[in-house]
A and B are shown apart, each in its own frame.
Chain A
């Protein structure tokens, strides 16, 4: 029993908390200096085989998920839980305390306390509760042998602020654990017009089945006038059993979430293929084709042949493409088209609206994290708790009226757990008001 007690005391001590927090803070530096998540060879090259082996033992290449670092976080959690269990009952007792059971003689010893005499006479008409209420306090009272005691308090629950902060850390940890075991991170490249039913896990590249299909309808890059990239955007469609269920334009900072799985715009790849959309102006029929560079295509049944015979590129990005098009037996036309701008092309007696667009694949980061809401709730609780702990205080006042004969004595006393200076000012103000009401 004694042993159990000393274990308990060890885990509930703030000394341990300060030690653990310092240890976590200092050891965290390692991972900011030594690159994380590189293959083993990297460490051998950089630091030599001996050091690399030592790193392997301590899991330095992945230190924030290593046995000892997660152990430290576990120790912190145990510390938080036991410390709170140790102290919270006392706090609850203070919150729920019957403050009217105090001995009037104790009032003189409060941090703020003052007493004065008054003449009995007409004050019987005075309603002390009203006076206190006007000053912003809601009093309860109890008749005693020698007089009457009034009590009022504010912000008793602010005492739980610290515990809300501590709990919030645990809630965030729970969220992180849920995300780790029941979520995944991955990515996938989907060429325009194509779809995928699976993605690939970030680290291991293991395929993960989505349970539905995601299609990239189109991908585009917008530029500022100066040529810097303004936005990457993809139009995504979700399909269930071949049926379109959701369609959304996504951008960096504006993902698509479906069934708890979120798709983030993260990269792209430009192909040497083109998406050519042709509309027959007369019949309004239109069709798109995926056209490899310098390969001829035929619009079946329409006798339209076409191909991209040349292209002008800035890096990976095609700016203009040279289209060759021939309808039936008319002589072919050749035209330079700006990327993704439609133009009208006449060939013989036929007229077509044509768009040529370089084909891209959109790179999607895909994440499922059922724990993220715990993390967010934890963050909210933390801010709430900090506000309560730092900006609110538990203020208590007592007023005791003792009558002996023609005279009576009034004792006003108060205490607070925080921000004593501010409270003393309020107390002085209250005392002034009460004395005035008494005509003292």
Chain B
């Protein structure tokens, strides 16, 4: 068994988890919930095993480093955080159906990591600039933030669907009846965004400290840095609009999706469409 096999399996188990959660929604079969949760948790354990194995394999290759140093590894870690975050939310808010809107992100991330030709899966030794504990701190904090924003966007979509069916035709509303009340979704979106905001803040800070220890410049306005700041502003604006201007519901749901688009661009778009210091991600 090697890490790529385990991570390959994970892709399919997350697909199956997604289907299970969708089934709860479609067939209104809450009893499936426990199976979906259990299955997702097992899939997550498999992925954890894959990450640990990959870590160990890098040591066997003679240049051990945490599996957090290229595009492939960061996408896998991203999906790993999404799932554990989602499971925590499920446990805390006692609602299972939102899995249908969160777990697909984990599946898509894994599918992209596994099948995209843009991404190399080989374990490579670290070039000198990447040999820093700040890099690990930077990747972990950023991707926990990104994962939280992914979950928030999933919930945002859920909110909008439910909201539309409520005000619109009656037929589809049956499907979405099982979703938690709008107020609850709104609350979870906000909490998830706040959580993500703190981690993104820490991510930008650790990145700045790393840059300063490697190059002597904590901020150089390269496209990746600038885009992470833009993303950070989007969420800062959202928090202010909610807290001081009383925005909520649909507006915040749209902002959660918009914010996640900014995340995607920071994470993916910059690597492939713009050039900069962080281009290591593109190999």
Chain A residues within CB distance 8 Å of chain B: 14-15, 17-18, 21-22, 24-25, 28-29, 31-33, 36, 64, 176, 185, 224-226, 228-232, 251-255, 262, 264-266, 365-367, 369, 372, 375-376, 379, 382-383, 386-387, 390
The residues of A that contact B62 with a CB separation of less than 8 Å are 224-225
B 210-224 contacts with A by CB, 8 A: 210, 212-219, 221, 223
Extra contacts, 14 of them, besides A21-B233, A25-B229, A383-B201 (Cβ < 8 A), are A14-B240, A14-B244, A24-B233, A28-B229, A29-B230, A31-B223, A36-B221, A64-B226, A226-B125, A253-B214, A255-B213, A369-B216, A372-B212, A379-B209
Interface size on B, residues (CB 8 A): 43
Known: A31-B226, A382-B201, A386-B198. A252 touches B240 (CB 8 A): no
**Is residue B279 contacting chain A, with contact meaning CB distance below 8 A?**
no
Q: Please indicate the chain B residues that have their CB under 8 angstroms from the CB of A21 in the complex.
A: 233, 236-237, 240
Contact in complex: B198, A18 (CB < 8 Å) = no
Assess the A365–B131 pair: CB atoms within 8 A: no
The answer on a CB contact under 8 Å between A252 and B197 is: no
Other-chain contact of A251, B125, B128, B208, B210 (Cβ < 8 Å): B128
- Known contacts A32-B227, A226-B125, A383-B205, A252 near B237 by CB under 8 Å: no
Q: Are B131 and A253 in contact (CB under 8 A)?
A: yes
List the 6 closest A-B pairs by CB distance, nearest first.
Answer: A367-B216, A252-B128, A32-B223, A25-B233, A253-B132, A379-B205
What is the distance, in angstroms, from B221's C-beta to the closest C-beta of chain A? 5
Complex CA–CA separation, A103 to B179 (angstroms): 44
Which residues of B have CB within 8 Å of A365? Answer: 215-216
Q: What is the CB-to-nearest-CB distance from B62 to chain A, in angstroms, rounded to a whole number?
A: 7
| Chain B 163-210 residues near chain A, CB threshold 8 A | 194, 197-198, 201-202, 205, 208-210
- A315 smallest CB distance to B (angstroms): 16
Mask for B101-135, Cβ within 8 A of A = 1, else 0? 00000000000000000000000110111011010
Q: Are B131 and A231 in contact (CB under 8 A)?
A: yes
Q: Do A228 and B124 form a contact, CB below 8 Å, given A21-B233, A253-B214, A365-B215?
A: yes
Q: List 16 A-B contacts (CB under 8 A).
A: A14-B244, A17-B240, A18-B240, A31-B221, A32-B226, A33-B274, A64-B226, A231-B128, A253-B210, A253-B213, A365-B215, A365-B216, A382-B201, A383-B198, A386-B201, A390-B198
Q: Is the CB of B212 within 8 A of A253?
A: no
B241 at interface (Cβ–Cβ under 8 A)? yes
Query: Does any Cβ of A come within 8 Å of B234's Cβ?
Result: yes
With an 8 A cutoff between CB atoms, is B152 at the interface? no
What is the chain A residue whose CB lies nearest that of B62? A225
Are the C-beta atoms of B230 and A255 separated by less than 8 Å? Answer: no
Q: Does B270 contact A (CB under 8 A)?
A: yes
Min Cβ gap B186→A in Å is 13
Contacts of B240 in A (CB 8 A): 14, 17-18, 21
| Closest A residue by C-beta to B205 | A379
A386 to B193, CA, bound (A): 13
Whether, in the assembled complex, B245 has its beta carbon less than 8 Å from a beta carbon of chain A, the answer is yes
User: Chain A residue with minimal CB distance to B241?
Assistant: A18
Q: Complex Cα distance A176/B129, Å?
A: 24
CA distance A399 to B197 in the complex (A): 38
Residue B63 at the A interface, CB < 8 A?
A: yes
Given A367-B216, A369-B216; A32-B270 close (CB under 8 Å)? yes
Contacts A224-B63, A386-B201, A390-B198; A229 near B128 (Cβ below 8 A): yes
Check B216 against A22 for contact (C-beta < 8 Å).
no
Q: How far is the CA of A367 from the CA of B210 in the complex (A)?
A: 15
Least CB distance from A202 to B in Å reads 10
Cβ-defined contact, A228 with B241, below 8 A: no
Contact A266 B215 (CB under 8 A): yes
- Contacts A386-B197, A390-B194 known; A229 to B127 CB distance under 8 Å? yes
Cβ–Cβ contact B214 & A264, under 8 A: yes
Known: A21-B233, A230-B125. A262 touches B131 (CB 8 A): no
Scan B44-79; emit 1 where CB is below 8 A from any A CB, else 0.
000000000000000000110000000000000000
Q: Which of B134, B209, B218 has the most CB of A within 10 A?
A: B218
Which residues 131-178 of B sit at the A interface, judged by CB distance below 8 A?
131-132, 134
What residues on A are CB-neighbors of B124 within 8 Å?
228
Within 8 A of A (CB), among B232-250: 233-234, 236-237, 240-241, 244-245
Q: Does B230 lie within 8 Å of A25, measured CB to CB?
A: yes
A25-B233, A25-B234, A32-B270 known; A264+B205 contact, CB < 8 A: no
